[in-house]
Structure 1
Amino acid sequence: MNLSQHFKLSEFACKCGCGRDDINPKLIDVLEDVRIHFNTPVYINSGCRCPQHNQSVGGTRHSQHILGNAADISVKRVNPKSVADYLETKYPDKFGIGRYKTFTHIDLRAIKARWGSNE
């Protein structure tokens, strides 16, 4: 099932195979914006997580992934620092943006949160 022009529901399903795939449509809008901005595919490394899978990958107890409000993404031929820089410029006063060496985390939390360093 297509969620948007560039994303399918299956891309956001919990990686444990449980079938959990509740994803916030607003997150899809943010990811479509990233796709259009960089004009290249965006890969979903992790989207929805059931509590068990979240725990097994070391996620926080109240992870935005469990709520369907988060994705860990990689953008084809774009380094994660550039992705995080773009998101922080686009959303300076909201959302959670995490910087990692191989991916960028984005979530729709109500307050601004920043962590990590991929310099």
Structure 2
Amino acid sequence: MKSKHFARHEFACSCGCGFDTVDVETLAVLEELRDHFATPVVVTSGCRCPTYNARVGGAEHSQHKLGRAADIQAQGIDPSEVHHYLVNRYPGQYGIGRYNTFTHIDTRSGGPARW
């Protein structure tokens, strides 16, 4: 993994199982987002093994289980603003979700998803 602003351990499954990969396209989106807002981006949930994904109520076909998703917080930026930026920056691509305290981004194939 080669990244200017992110380290592999930031994407590691929170259960401690050792799953810690990230899709290069997902990483590129996060790098671009960090550069756009010029602020650190914290990965609050990256990879999830099937057991941990089930424990946290993740979707059965979650992109987190493939290393293609990240729940993030851009420091000092409201999640709704991050969501708005991503939706406009990547129309017709990816999975982008807005939550009260974080934003979800995934690089799914097969069409976009918004929530």
Common topology (TM > 0.5): yes
Deviation string 1:57-101 (CA, Å, 9 cap, x unpaired) is: 000111000000000000000000000000001101110001100
- Consecutive unaligned residues of structure 1, counting only runs of 5 or more, are none
Point out where structure 2 has 5 or more consecutive residues left out of the alignment. none
3-state SS in 1 of match to 2:52: helix
Q: What displacement does 1:3 show?
A: 3.2
* TM-score normalised per structure 1: 0.94
Aligned to 1:73: 72
- Residue 81 of structure 2 corresponds to 82
Residues in 2 aligned to 1:22 and 1:75: alpha-carbon distance in whole angstroms: 21
Once the two structures are superposed, the pairs formed by residues 41-52 of structure 1 within 5 Å of their partners are 41-52=40-51
Counterpart Cα distance in 2 of 1:94 and 1:103 = 19
- The equivalent of 2:52 in structure 1 is 53
Separation (CA, whole Å) in 1 of partners of 2:105 and 2:20: 17
**Within 2, Cα distance between the matches of 1:72 and 1:79?**
14
Q: Which amino acid aligns with 2:4?
A: Q
User: 2 CA distance for matches of 1:83 and 1:106?
Assistant: 10
Cα distance in 2 for residues equivalent to 1:77 and 1:3:
26
RMSD: 0.8
1:63 corresponds to which residue?
62
Corresponding residue for 1:96?
95
Q: Distance in 2 between matches of 1:108 and 1:26?
A: 7
What amino acid is aligned across from residue 36 of structure 1 in structure 2?
D
Amino acid at match of 1:68: G
Q: Return the TM-score normalized by structure 2.
A: 0.97
Identity %: 54
Matches of 1:17 and 1:104, distance apart in 2: 23
How many residues align? The count is 114
Query: Could you tell me which amino acid in structure 1 is paired with residue 85 of structure 2?
Result: Y
Between the aligned partners of 2:68 and 2:76, the Cα distance in structure 1 is 25
For 1:16, the aligned partner's letter is C
Q: 1:63 is aligned with what amino acid?
A: S
